[in-house]
Structure 1
Amino acid sequence: MPTQELTFRDKPINLNERGGRKWVYAKKPSGKWWKRRTIVAWLLLGFWVAVPFIRINGNPLILLDIANRKFIIFGAIFWAQDTFILALLMLSFVLFIVLFTVTYGRLWCGWTCPQTIFLEMVFRRIEYLIEGDYRERHQLDNSPWTTKKIFKKTLKHGIFILISVAMTNVFLMWFIGSERWLQLITEPISQHLGGFGIMLLISAVFYWIYSFFREQICTMVCPYGRMQGVLLDSKSIMVAYDYVRGEPRGGRGSGDCTDCKQCISVCPTGIDIRNGTQLECINCTACIDQCNKIMKVIGKPQGLIRYTSEAAIKGGHSSVWNARNRAYTVVLFIIFAFFVFTLVSRPEIETTILRTPGLIYQEQDSTYSNVYNIKIVNKTHEEMPLELRLLSHKGKIQMAGNSMVIKDQDKFESTFLVYIPKPEITSDKTEIEFGIFSNDKLLEKYTTTFVGP
């Protein structure tokens, strides 16, 4: 840690001594890391907007239809019957987050978190364009209300409101689909007053977050920053200040840090990265670019602030790729491969066969019969002709209706009778097995009970 004496910080960085809001005026960042983050952000924004319109075999790329319990993930449809698979994927996702944070720190926060992308790459950029950099914005906010100030504030907040409404509508398409959304916006508002009111409320929340609450989402609301205090260790990769090389500061010795505080000026949460790991740090790399500029001016090597680990700084290593980080990265790839495998290896159909409740067996001359209800879900993108066969016993199946053809991503429900010869039924409950075939190919087996005398 730095050799300078530090004061214990017992409150969030964006609160003043009286507990009031201390507005953060971040300087507009620039540099190679900022350019890289910009490219990643615009790719993710493009993906976010395009997802509802991308089709795979006629289905959206991603659809989270909670009302109908239908989820489409990369073209694969998950129904309520797939709860086990979804739970398994969720558990693997949680494990992925834990291992990812232990290995790569808060890389997610700085590069791919929606809060960071929208605030830094959309709303702040508009603010820079209209109101100027941090000095101009600070002067404008503290100046009297003039025609110029009213115009700039009205223009900025008007654009913020439009973007918030657009964000709400794009998110809505993720849950109802682009076709349903297009239908809604072409119908009179009077037919959807409740939904319209919810849309305005969510838009107002977005507007409030990105216009006023801002970085407090990261510093006071989001639990991920607090999780890092438990998950990070000395070998985790993070944006960090090389105190071994930088101290003592301000040219009072051999330290490279000039104490110019430029790293603080660009920080979107207003922290001093030189004070070590802090929950407010989102690893956005703005301080890396700013410090590298100063190092270039004074003729010192770049990388005083860089992606590194506490163990690498303390041990004087330039590489952060230790054996543990390599091993965890391999595990992350295995978890991701499992996620993909689970998506592509689901059964083609999901079958449920249950005895019709309230009915007992019926006796014929040489057979006993039971009535069953059957439901089959087609999880493929093809129409499937199906046939139900009795595998475990001799007998006959009589289906209600003549056809068992299921359209792609559709359901089939019916009732059928099973006739089994009397000599084969030796107890009041006999286990029987059915096979579901398509073009003589066995797709699934299902076991249930047959009730006899």
Structure 2
Amino acid sequence: MNTELNVTTPADDYFRSHLPNQNENGGRQWLYPRATSGRFTKWRTVVAVGLLVALFVGPFIWVDGHPLFLFNVLERRFIFFGVTFWPQDFYLVAIGLITFIVFITLFTVVFGRVFCGWACPQTIFMEMVFRKVETWIEGDYNARKRLDAAPWTTEKILKKTAKHGAFFLVSFAISNTFLVYIIGRDQWSTLITDNPAQHLAGLTTILVFTGVFYGVFAYLREIVCTTICPYGRLQSVLLDKNSLIVAYDYIRGEPRGKRVKNEELKVKNNSTTLHSSLLTHHLPKGDCVDCKLCVHVCPTGIDIRNGTQMECINCTACMDACDEVMSKIDRPSGLIRMDSQQGIDTRKPFRFTKRIMAYSGVLVLLLGVLGFLLISRPALDVTILRAPGQLFQREANGQVANLYSVELINKTYRALPVRFRLNRPDATLRFVQPLSQTQPGELTQTMFFITLPEKAIHADKTRLTIDVLTGDTVVDQVETSFLGPISMGERMKE
């Protein structure tokens, strides 16, 4: 970079010792973000609408008589995209969580905090739902500011009552939606249509979560993003100079100041016109006109011109606001853009680093392992254990019996026929209660005896293999031990 330009970042570091929503007295300064328009805002709206529709419709979509999604913590039953997971599938959940963490890490390393600004439920509900309701009832950012500063009048009381009433209703809808994800559509329908006295616990839960959501979106707001959410601090660890972030081009923008539209100044260096990205640095003022629109539209109240900050959620609102100003003064767009710090400093395009490739390799490996385990997961999960406290029983005709307990989990959405086959022709299996099939999505428990001729027993423990079949297909093989008496002669042989 040409050292004669002598361009530096702003010297004011007040933002480093104060939160963006903190006033000079240390109290909270209420933020009134200005509405934006532009291509990024339009795309954010499309993404938000799609995610909101998916969220509210998701728990009511059923496939083959089962919900598409269910997170029933109470019954330890989880359904993802129609696939049921039981406690026995915890290893899959663990690998899935590790894969998700690696994905979030990779995504943050490459794209910074874009998830927060474009897909996080907190941002989507705040900016695309509650902020819209607030604007519809109270007016734009200036009207809201004047209303809060005005004394309490009938108009103010009516508007505030209407706004907070709408906030509570939206929070109630969100609370019910999350409850449907937990207990399922049918139980939720019973809860809201039956006598309230029969479901006090459920209704109390709905009201508690409604109050939580209402408090978050009516009062906490940006504090969730700047203080409560740990992802912002995780971002500080994961970002590097090659990560794509919402960045202010201080080389092109400084020094700040008002410009005259269609101003034409030519600067030549040894009869060669400088590159357009460097031309303005030889001018008295840079491209930034110091209009502060980027600050006014920021939902967390930061000044992006101060550089990368933890509070930035990469919502791109400042990019739309700045591009609109640049078009009015006939300057190129992108003074604030998605770029890396390295790209701002060197004017080089984004490139994949060894760090990104390493994370990508680990992610691909984990996805491969998870995919293989999901595909090879048996339709029937079987657990066979010897009955506790039981050794063996002598029966007639020189037979010895052992008692076993068995648990079967049908992980499919259809009834499965089931039968058991022993690997020894002289062994027989006899159920305490007949079992011929398992019901879909249910846990079946029963017990059976295995008998062996006493003369065929030559050790304290005899290893047995039990094949579990549905039809003619072996879906599982279970190893177990058979306890039996052993004579002194047999012991001497050993």
Following superposition, the deviation at residue 386 of structure 1 comes to 0.7
* Residue 296 (structure 1) aligned with residue 303 (structure 2): no
Distance in 1 between residues matched to 2:334 and 2:424, nearest whole Å: 71
Match of 1:322 in 2: 352
Out of 7, 10, 13, which is 2:13 matched to?
A: 7
- Report the 3-state secondary structure (helix = DSSP H, G, I; strand = E; otherwise coil) of the residue aligned with 2:382: strand
1:97 has 2:104 as partner:
yes
Deviations 1:220-254 (A, max 9, x none): 11111111111111111111111222222225735
SS at match of 1:274: helix
Cα distance per residue 1:1-56 (max 9 Å; x no partner) = 94321225223211112221101110011111011011111111100111111112
Contact 2:421–2:466 (CA under 8 A) maintained in structure 1: yes
Equivalent position SS for 2:420: strand
Aligned Cα root-mean-square deviation (Å) = 1.9
- Provide the C-alpha distance between the structure 1 equivalents of 2:374 and 2:44, rounded to a whole number of angstroms: 30
| 8 A contact 2:95–2:366 mirrored in 1 | no
Deviations 1:341-383 (A, max 9, x none): 5444421111100001111112344432211011111111221
Gaps of 5+ in 1: none
Partner of 2:478: 446
**TM-score of the aligned structures, taking structure 2 as reference length:** 0.87
Distance across 2 between alignment mates of 1:422 and 1:315: 84
Against the structure 1 CA distance between its residues 265 and 338, is the aligned structure 2 distance closer, same or farther, given a 3 Å change threshold? farther
Give 1:185's aligned amino acid.
I
Q: Which residue of 2 aligns with 1:310?
A: 341
Q: Deviations over 1:178-237 (max 9, x none)?
A: 111111111111122232222212211211111111101111111111111111111111
Q: CA contact under 8 A between 2:226 and 2:311: conserved in structure 1?
A: yes
* Contact kept? 1:76, 1:343, Cα under 8 Å: no
Q: CA deviation at 1:329?
A: 5.1
Show CA shifts across 1:397-433 (max 9, x none).
Answer: 1122333211211222111111123354322122221
Distance 1:291 1:69 in 2: 50
The count of residues paired between Structure 1 and Structure 2 equals 452
Question: Where does residue 26 of structure 1 map in the other structure?
Answer: 33
Q: Does 2:47 match 1:40? A: yes
Provide the rounded CA distance (Å) in 1 between the counterparts of 2:365 and 2:129: 35
Residues 342 and 101 from structure 1, CA distance in 2 versus in 1: closer, same or farther, beyond 3 angstroms?
A: farther
Counterparts of 2:85 and 2:163, CA distance in 1: 42
Whole-angstrom distance in 1 between the partners of 2:38 and 2:378: 49
Q: How does 1:10-409 map to 2 (within 5 A)?
A: 10-250=17-257, 253=284, 255-317=286-348, 319-324=349-354, 325=356, 328=359, 332=363, 335-336=366-367, 338-364=369-395, 365-391=397-423, 394-409=426-441
Contact 1:2–1:274 (Cα < 8 Å) also in 2: no
Deviates more, 1:346-355 or 1:11-20: 11-20
1:41-91, Cα deviation, whole Å (9 max, x unpaired): 111110011111111221111101111111111111111211222122112
Question: Is residue 112–residue 245 contact of structure 2 (8 Å, CA) maintained in 1?
Answer: yes
Say if 1:342 and 1:305 are closer, same or farther in 2 by CA, change over 3 A.
farther
Residue 415 (str. 1) matches residue 447 (str. 2): yes
What letter is aligned with 2:344?
I
User: Deviation at 1:301?
Assistant: 0.9
1:140 counterpart letter in structure 2: L
- Structure 1 Cα separation of the partners of residues 444 and 207 of structure 2: 39
| Contact preservation (8 Å) 2:92, 2:370 | no
Describe the SS at the equivalent of 1:291: helix
Q: Which amino acid in structure 2 is aligned with residue 290 of structure 1?
A: A
Q: Distance in 1 between matches of 2:169 and 2:406?
A: 50
Instruction: Tell me the CA shift for residue 107 of structure 1.
Output: 1.3
Equivalent-residue separation in structure 2 for 1:352 and 1:298 (angstroms): 73
Letter in 1 for 2:345: K
Cα separation, partners in 2 of 1:161 and 1:337, compared to 1, 3 Å: farther
CA distance in 2, matches of 1:211, 1:452: 70
Give the direction of change, closer, same or farther, for the CA distance of 1:260–1:159 in structure 2 (3 Å limit).
same
- Structure of higher CA gyration radius: 2
Give the C-alpha shift of residue 268 in structure 1: 0.3
CA distance in 1, matches of 2:145, 2:79: 46
Contact 1:100 1:332 in 2 (8 A): no
How far is the alpha carbon of 1:443 from its aligned partner?
A: 0.4
Q: Percent identity?
A: 44
Note if contact 1:103-1:329 (Cα within 8 Å) is conserved in structure 2: no
Residue 412 of structure 1: SS of its match in structure 2? strand
The 8 Å contact of residues 250 and 258 in structure 1, kept in 2 or not, is answered as yes
State whether residues 10 and 306 of structure 2, in contact with CA within 8 Å, keep that contact through their aligned partners in structure 1: no
User: Could you tell me how far apart the structure 2 residues matched to 1:376 and 1:395 are?
Assistant: 22
Contact 2:257–2:285 at 8 Å: present in 1 too? Answer: no
Matched letter for residue 452 of structure 2: I
Most deviating of 187-196 and 388-397: 388-397
Taking structure 1 as the reference length, what is the TM-score of the superposition? 0.95
CA-CA distance at 1:328 after TM superposition: 4.6
Structure 2 distance, partners of 1:393, 1:314, is: 78
Contact 1:271–1:280, Cα closer than 8 Å, also in 2 = yes
Q: Aligned in 2, Cα 1:241/1:334: closer, same or farther, shift over 3 Å?
A: farther
Distance 2:406 2:59 in 1: 33
Q: Distance in 1 between matches of 2:467 and 2:37?
A: 64
Question: Residue 296 of structure 2 aligns to which amino acid in structure 1?
Answer: S
Q: Determine whether 1:435 maps to 2:442.
A: no
Gaps of 5+ in 2: 1-6, 259-282, 486-494
Counterpart residue identity of residue 109, structure 1: C
Q: In structure 1, what is the Cα distance between the partners aligned to 2:425 and 2:233?
A: 60
Cα distance, 1:307 vs structure 2: 1.0
- Counterpart contact for 1:354–1:448, Cα < 8 Å: yes
- Measure the CA separation in 1 of the matches of 2:59 and 2:32: 36
| Distance change >3 Å, CA 79–CA 10, structure 1 → 2 | same
